[in-house]
Chain A
Amino acid sequence: MLKLENIVAKYGKVEALKGISLEVRPGELVTLIGSNGAGKSTTIKIISGLLKPESGQVILEGAKTTGLPPYQMVKRGIGLSPEERHVFPKLTVEENLQMGAYIVKDKKVVRMGIDRVYALFPRLKERYKQLAGSLSGGEQQMLAIGRALMCGPRLLLLDEPSLGLAPIVVENMAEIILELKKTGLSILLVEQNANVALRIADRGYLMDTGTIVLEGNAKELLNDDRVRKIYLGQQGKEECQGA
């Protein structure tokens, strides 16, 4: 589905990715975990075309897509729910979803997509006319994910969908992600909440300061001493630390 090969990315002079490689296979749910500033969101930006890599290759469904602009990546089947949601604040919920389907020409298909998102997140249906900026954080997160689904993606990129959500809502979100996976969607899930992410994922990559330090089966990672020590041990008590 997706392959990154030796991606190097910079912001000015700062090297945020120091040559990372990873892979998402068709139908797989892969998670990318790591602490603040590890380079997870940068990786997502590279895949979605929001940032051009210094070197390395992005290969999507066998074709090189390195450096293509975001709108072309959407046409090639990428749906993005970015870090911090980025809903269009002064568009209504429904307009946000319509924009998610910008590349879809057939109005009937758009309507079906919107209804599907409403079925997934009934909360959004209740607020369809409300401006997205006036939604709660959790609702905005639902909208961001719903919007990412509207283009009918084959690979869904989710950057910290649990950020700022109450624990119950996080569980709910995890179930929804699993449900999406069941429809055959390939998913790359970025999370700081390593516990939940590794529980639902097939495979995982652990990032630290721009490199991938560990990769493997999610179950194995969940039991890996390094992961436990660095990330899971802090859960609960010190979740907010390191920010």
Chain B
Amino acid sequence: MIQLIQNIINGLIIGGTYAMMGIGLTLIFGVMNVVNFSHGEFYMIGAFFLFSTFGLLQIGYVPSIIISLLLVAVFALVVERFLLRPMRDKPLDNGMILTIGLSILLQNVALLIWGGTPKNIDLGMSMSSIEIGSIVVTPVRLIIAVIAIAVILLFGIFLQKTKLGTAVRATFQDRDMASAVGININHIYGLTFIAGSLMAALAGMLLAPIYVLLPTMGDQVNAKAFAVAIAGGLGNFPGAIIAGLLLGVAESLGSAYISSGYKDAIGFVLIVIVLVTKPRWLTGDK
């Protein structure tokens, strides 16, 4: 029993980062109509930027995260402005091919800069576990969970409660009309791509201390982000959160009770189940 709860908690912690990945992907698709195959590469560069700033600047984990996020934001802005904007209003596949190309490009540039040997980030943080009752969590995982929850909540509040967030939702629902009430769509697109990419990059930064870093690390995560975004209903923000957490738990339970070899297949099983059963929270019907 305790083992089960332990597995579920581990799953939820990782699931929080999957939710972040999924939110980013679903938001970019929903608002911008871009299927972003390079989403996983933003996760990857997030992790590598952190590796470099943390290693070079020696200013600690959190300041390094902030600087890395700023760098990713600038990069995302450039990608949106100069690569995605010309593709706007073109058929969906143009954008797909572009982001697939970008994904390959980024992987290879990362290979050039950081090389192909696995890297890791040693936080030098105590690895002694925190015990809550009989449940054991390492401090790093606790930090991951707290930041993921905080970011998702803050972002949800931003979308629901602020004027700019409402404008993002309005653009999502009716782009032309949003423009006709005075919203500058270009700003909303830029903002959306930056926010979505930062979600991916931050997920990469959070997981960097517990995983190894490789230029190809985005591939697998990208597949998971798609699983989460599709299972949650494309463009559906709460759906992505639920699907992300579910995927994390399913993977954790799957590797504990079935076989860890099947861990990465679970996301696809989840997509199939969801697409076949089409639950209400997915279709949005009342």
Contacts and interface: CB of A to CB of B under 8 A. Distances in A.
A88 B180 contact: no
Contact of A69 (B167, B170, B179, B181): B179
B140 interface: no
Query: Which of A49, A71, A100, A103 gathers most chain B CB within 10 Å?
Result: A71
A211 interface: no
A89 B170 contact: no
A165 B70 CA distance: 52
A90 B167 CA distance: 12
B9 interface: no
A74 B182 contact: yes
A50 B176 contact: yes
Given A50-B179, A70-B180, A88 B185 contact: no
A99 B173 contact: no
A86 interface: yes
Query: Which of B180, B182, B183 gathers most chain A CB within 10 Å?
Result: B180
A49 B176 CA distance: 10
Contacts of A95: 166, 170
Contact of B173 (A70, A74, A88, A98): A88
B180 A99 contact: no
Contacts of A74: 180-182
A78 to B, nearest CB: 8
Interface in A67-92: 69-71, 73-75, 80, 82, 86, 88-91
Contacts of B141: none
A147 B181 contact: yes
Contacts of A150: 181
Contact of B174 (A48, A75, A88): A88
B272 to A, nearest CB: 28
A69 B185 CA distance: 10
A99 B179 contact: no
Contact residues of B: prevailing secondary structure = helix
A151 interface: yes
A73 B184 CA distance: 11
Interface in A200-216: none
Interface in A121-168: 147, 150-151
A75 B173 CA distance: 22
B182 A86 contact: no
A135 to B, nearest CB: 14
B177 interface: yes
Contacts of A48: 180
Interface in A44-66: 48-50
B181 A100 contact: yes
A11 interface: no
Contact of A75 (B163, B169, B182): B182
Interface of A: 48-50, 69-71, 73-75, 80, 82, 86, 88-91, 95, 98-100, 102-103, 147, 150-151
Given A48-B180, A50-B179, 16 more contacts: A69-B184, A70-B176, A70-B179, A71-B183, A71-B185, A74-B182, A80-B180, A82-B177, A88-B174, A90-B173, A98-B166, A99-B167, A99-B178, A99-B183, A102-B183, A150-B181
18 contacts: A69-B179, A70-B176, A70-B179, A70-B180, A70-B182, A71-B179, A82-B180, A88-B169, A88-B170, A88-B178, A98-B166, A99-B166, A99-B183, A100-B181, A102-B163, A102-B183, A150-B181, A151-B182
